[in-house]
């Protein structure tokens, strides 16, 4: 067995180590989410924690790690009698990002069911993790269906399996630890809230500390056993301190003053629900126990807030993480009265100020409002004030809104998501077929039907079933896939007319938010001046795309053909990397083509490349003013896609909301 890197040998990362230790002291805190760039010892620290956890007593032979002092009465391996057990180390179970549903929750033992006619349950990783650690590396890349199962188990402390005639319930209480790189995409808010604490980690910028990291890592790689032996005393001391803190934890007093500070802090930062208050209370109590105290102090509440609130105050992936520490200190001071204060004070501090105000308007007018009569320029496009054809300051995006749902037609086979129809490993079963390659999901009824007519010929006359490979049937399922949504944004001078770019950025921001909710990858190509540019290669991080969009300048001519060809190159490369993920190209433009030689003809040729390859596309028509040329609609026709105006992108979603509300009203009536 590989010797883990010692927990006490991790250099720096004080918040990370503290958060993990607090969960070791009090698993009720609810786990840790570790966010940070690659190469910052996230996984190393988590794996090292398991060696510090106290051993657990389990019922001999129980696959579900029941406690012999209080065995689970509904354990599938039970019933168990109360008595002595066997002691073993606490487990750390890793959930791979690509794990199947059966591997996570368990499933029917197909081999025994077919050979012996017995309904036997094969436990999954949730059973293995009971009373231990469930570790998910790159948790933000976990498939939605696995996230839902994980949420249910974490919330209820149990796993329920209903499938193929099997109905099983078993305890699944575990310390949930996840690590992620935010550049690869954010987590769904529901899963974020399930993590008790969150920690942001980054590599040290201090040369001496970086030298020490390298020195220790090289020493460990050369001789893991010897390196671990040199840190054995420190590891033993921390392990003993965890045990002492666990013993002290029931005696820690959380007074009314600390509770008021916790409630006021959660209200001041406008976190949703009450889970944050409960987690803060448990964390502050664990902090006091870790410090060897029986009273929770204001410093414990402050540290608990810094660990428990940052990920809960984010309303969408574009909000910056973190907590305003000055505001935190003001709130704690305001509600830091003594324990003898009136126990029923006014519970709520003054709420924070309004909703952020209106974005700053764009700089002055850009000339004539009519798109048919722009300000004079050498290519007939509006020119920015000050310098002919030069770059303009980036426009502020308008507020995002709920958009019309854009989908890729047909039936795909890409990664699980929420946008377009697809054949998936999860979702509703639509039929059965012979397996093509390895069997991944057995359709039991179809397999039995295929095998049943041949039992006499196979010499079977008694109970049971003789099943051959030719009888096996693969279940076919239909669900939703995530797509690659590639934005191709016109950043030329014509887009700055009538302060249009702010509205355009708001629309793209809205579509990015929609892509985040539907688990898409996104990319950003822009074109202006004389060329197209890949502003952001395809990524799962929509907040990175939003940041690039916000700083996008405008100005110059409109090289539409160059932008389309650049987008075509991006799709070609991405198809080599991920052939199953289908693309949706969203071209945001007024349809003008003025850059380069023969701009209109070349733009048409470039557009027809997309149509010839069957690439799904949508043109968001940004043309405005009383006179409209309809060029975006013509471009959509050449792309083989559809065109929507900025107003339609918003109005149709509002109409959908009204329709949903009316439908709900009718059902309620």
By annotation, the residues acting in catalysis are: 275
> Among 110, 116, 129, which residue's Cα sits nearest to residue 172?
129
Distance, CA of 522 to CA of 519 (rounded, Å): 10
The secondary element (H helix, E strand) that includes residue 56 is: strand 56-58
Distance, CA of 32 to CA of 23 (rounded, Å): 8
> Among 192, 211, 86, which residue's Cα sits nearest to residue 147?
192
CA-based radius of gyration for the chain: 30
Whole-angstrom CA distances from 545 to 516, 523, 537 are 11, 7, 9
Q: Beta strands of 594-635 (E only): which ranges?
A: 616-621
Phi and psi at residue 543, to the nearest 5°: -70, -30
Structure tokens at 284: 């502050």
Contacts 24+ apart (CB under 8 A), 439-442: 439/472, 439/474, 440/100, 440/474, 441/474, 441/475, 441/477, 442/110, 442/472, 442/473, 442/474, 442/475
Start-to-end CA span in the chain (Å): 64
> Among 274, 275, 299, which residue's Cα sits nearest to residue 288?
299
Find tokens 């709420």 and name the residue: 351
**Residue 321, Cβ neighbours under 10 Å: how many?**
14
Assign 3-class secondary structure to 125-158: HHHHHCCCEEEEECHHHCCHHHHHHHHHHHHHCE
Phi and psi at residue 54, to the nearest 5°: -65, 155
Burial code of 297-310, b = ≥16 C-beta within 10 A, e = fewer? bbebbbbbbbbbbb
């Amino acid at each position: 067995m590989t010797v883990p890197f010692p927990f006490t040998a991790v250099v720096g990362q004080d918040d990370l180590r503290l958060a993990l230790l607090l969960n070791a002291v009090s698993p009720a805190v609810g786990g840790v989410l570790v966010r940070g760039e690659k190469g910052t010892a996230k996984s190393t620290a988590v794996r090292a924690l398991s060696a510090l956890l106290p051993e657990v007593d389990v019922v001999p032979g129980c696959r579900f790690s029941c406690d012999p002092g209080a065995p689970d009465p509904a354990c599938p391996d039970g019933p168990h009698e109360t008595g002595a057990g066997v002691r073993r180390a606490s487990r750390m179970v890793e959930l791979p990002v690509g794990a199947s549903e059966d591997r996570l929750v368990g499933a029917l033992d197909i081999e025994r069911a077919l050979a012996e006619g017995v309904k036997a349950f094969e436990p999954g990783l949730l059973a293995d993790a009971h009373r231990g650690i469930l570790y998910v590396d790159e948790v933000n890349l976990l498939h939605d269906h696995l996230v839902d199962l994980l949420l249910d188990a974490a919330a209820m402390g149990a796993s329920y399996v209903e499938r193929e005639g099997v109905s099983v319930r078993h305890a699944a209480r575990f310390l949930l630890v996840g690590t992620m790189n935010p550049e690869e995409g954010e987590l769904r808010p529901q899963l974020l809230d399930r993590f008790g604490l969150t920690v942001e980690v980054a590599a040290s910028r201090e040369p001496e500390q970086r030298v020490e990291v390298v020195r220790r890592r090289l020493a460990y790689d050369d001789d893991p056993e010897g390196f671990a032996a040199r840190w054995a005393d420190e590891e033993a001391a921390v392990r003993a301190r965890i045990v002492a803190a666990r013993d002290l934890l029931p005696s820690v007093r959380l007074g009314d003053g600390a509770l008021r500070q916790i409630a006021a802090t959660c209200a001041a930062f406008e976190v949703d629900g009450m889970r944050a208050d409960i987690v803060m209370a448990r964390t502050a109590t664990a902090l006091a126990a870790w410090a060897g105290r029986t009273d929770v102090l204001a410093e414990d509440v402050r540290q608990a807030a810094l660990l428990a609130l940052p990920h809960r105050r984010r309303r969408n992936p574009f909000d910056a993480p973190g907590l305003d520490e000055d505001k935190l200190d003001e709130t704690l001071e305001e509600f830091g009265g003594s324990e003898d204060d009136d126990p029923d004070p006014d519970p709520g501090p003054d709420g924070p100020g309004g909703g952020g105000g209106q974005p700053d308007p764009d700089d002055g007018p850009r000339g004539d409002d009519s798109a048919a009569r722009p300000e004079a320029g050498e290519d007939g496009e509006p020119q920015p004030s000050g310098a002919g054809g030069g770059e303009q300051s980036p426009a502020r995006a308008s507020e995002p809104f709920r958009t019309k749902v854009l989908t890729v037609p047909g039936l795909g086979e890409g990664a699980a998501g929420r946008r377009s129809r697809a054949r998936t490993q999860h979702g509703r079963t639509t039929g059965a077929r012979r397996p093509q390659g390895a069997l991944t999901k057995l359709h039991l009824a179809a397999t039995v039907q295929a095998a049943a007519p041949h039992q006499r010929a196979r010499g079977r006359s008694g109970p049971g079933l003789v099943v051959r490979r030719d009888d096996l049937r693969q279940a076919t399922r239909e669900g939703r896939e995530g797509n690659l949504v590639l934005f191709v944004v016109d950043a030329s001078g014509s887009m700055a007319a009538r302060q249009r770019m702010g509205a355009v950025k708001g629309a793209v921001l809205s579509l990015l938010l929609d892509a985040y909710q539907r688990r898409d990858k996104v990319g950003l190509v822009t074109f202006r001046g004389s060329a197209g540019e890949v502003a952001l290669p395809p990524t799962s991080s929509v907040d990175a795309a939003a940041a690039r969009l916000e700083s996008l300048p405008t100005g110059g001519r409109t090289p539409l053909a160059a932008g389309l060809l650049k987008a075509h190159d991006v799709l070609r490369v991405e198809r080599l990397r991920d052939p199953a993920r289908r693309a949706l190209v969203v071209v945001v433009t007024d349809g003008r083509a003025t850059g380069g030689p023969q701009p209109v003809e070349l733009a048409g040729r470039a557009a027809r490349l997309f149509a010839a390859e069957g690439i799904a596309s949508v043109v968001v028509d940004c043309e405005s003013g009383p006179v409209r040329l309809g060029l975006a609609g013509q471009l959509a026709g050449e792309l083989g896609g559809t065109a929507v105006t900025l107003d339609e992108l918003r109005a149709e979603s509002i109409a959908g909301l009204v329709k949903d509300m009316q439908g709900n009203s009718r059902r309620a009536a």
